[in-house]
Structure 1
Amino acid sequence: MLVTDKDRDILARTLWGEARGESLAGRVAVAWTIRNRVNDGKDKSWWGEGYAGVCQKPYQFSCWNRNDPNYASLSGAKQIPFRELAQARIAADQVIDGNVPDPTGGATHYYAPAVMKAPTWTKGAKQTVKIGGHVFFKDVP
């Protein structure tokens, strides 16, 4: 699959919006969840196409919701601090380029228990791992 500069930028911005308070390992885990969706094989109308399509698919990653406080920075209306975006870009590039293994065990979903209670989709899903402030799942019904 061809990965564009836009894909890399949108993935990095998504990592900033979803996992900027995490360690590199936590950002990599979130990036792998996105990569697993990109490579899932489901109809592209489900997840979206490519990294940018998956990240910006409505209601998939809350940081891209227009009412999310991160949206102004992600959309470019407000600048993301250089160092924070650079850290997100490192994780994004490592995952896109295949330089780090998937620490999530094939997860396609996650949530942050400190931010929200367990979503309904966790029922019947297989929890794979907890990394930093996120809990990861696969086989989500």
Structure 2
Amino acid sequence: MNKFKKVLLAASLSISFMIAPSVADAASYTVQKGDSFWTISNKYGVSLSGLLKTNNRTGSLLYAGETLSIPSSITNAEKELMARLVHAEAKGEPYAGKVAVATVILNRVDSSLFPNSVNGVIYERSAGGYYAFSPVQNGAINYTANAEAKRAVNEALAFRGQGAGSIYFYNPKTATSTWITSRKMTVTIGNHRFAK
């Protein structure tokens, strides 16, 4: 192998090690008495299944003092953006409705029908130029989210990948689109109907 190829191989291996995430790169957490995988996943805003998978676990047994690796999740800026949307969309709705709105955002990120990022989903525009979410259109997304909206986002992240797969929600009293009512309804929470 000539000298140029050796240098190129060494450089590409170095770059791949810097880019490829590993369990060692993940944050770590020392288990405290009374912790569960659920409380830890909710605290860090990561999916329960992701936490179990990252730590090669199939059961729920934990020991105080053991160290767990916390998988990477969405960024704090994305969590804040989601919380602001949840706050604006589900103000006055029950807590479960706030979690469901956050879940719709995550389900859209995971769906091939929508952009594959939180920012992309929240700021998506229709062919007519309108935003998918009215608080983006009217500016309400720019207001600070309350603690309950932030907690709802973390809970939705912990449950990510579970649930009924809702990718839409609407208020039947105010919805003007007949198309949305043709979607299969999954659940009604407060004033919102969720659908897929």
Tell me which interval the TM-score lies in, with the shorter structure as reference length.
Answer: 0.7 to 0.9
Between 1 and 2, higher relative CO (CA 8 Å, sep ≥ 6) is seen in 1
For the residue of structure 1 that corresponds to 2:150, the secondary structure is helix
Residues 15/126 of structure 1: CA separation in 2 closer, same or farther (3 Å cut): same
- C-alpha distance after superposition, 1:59-107 (max 9, x if no partner): 2111101xx2xx1x522xxx53xxx6111000011112337953xx111
Matches within 5 A, 1:32-111: 32-42=103-113, 47-58=114-125, 59-65=131-137, 68=138, 71=139, 73-75=140-142, 79-80=143-144, 85-98=146-159, 101-102=162-163, 105-111=164-170
Q: How many residues are paired up?
A: 120
Say yes or no: does 1:17 pair with 2:80. Answer: no
Quote the RMSD (CA, aligned, Å). Answer: 2.3
For the residue of structure 1 that corresponds to 2:112, the secondary structure is coil
Residues 74/40 of structure 1: CA separation in 2 closer, same or farther (3 Å cut): same
Residues 32/115 of structure 1: CA separation in 2 closer, same or farther (3 Å cut): same
Say yes or no: does 1:136 pair with 2:176. Answer: no
Measured in 1, the distance between the counterparts of 2:157 and 2:141 equals 19
The share of aligned pairs that are identical, in percent, is 32
- C-alpha distance after superposition, 1:114-133 (max 9, x if no partner): 3234x232354211111111
TM-score, reference length from structure 1: 0.74
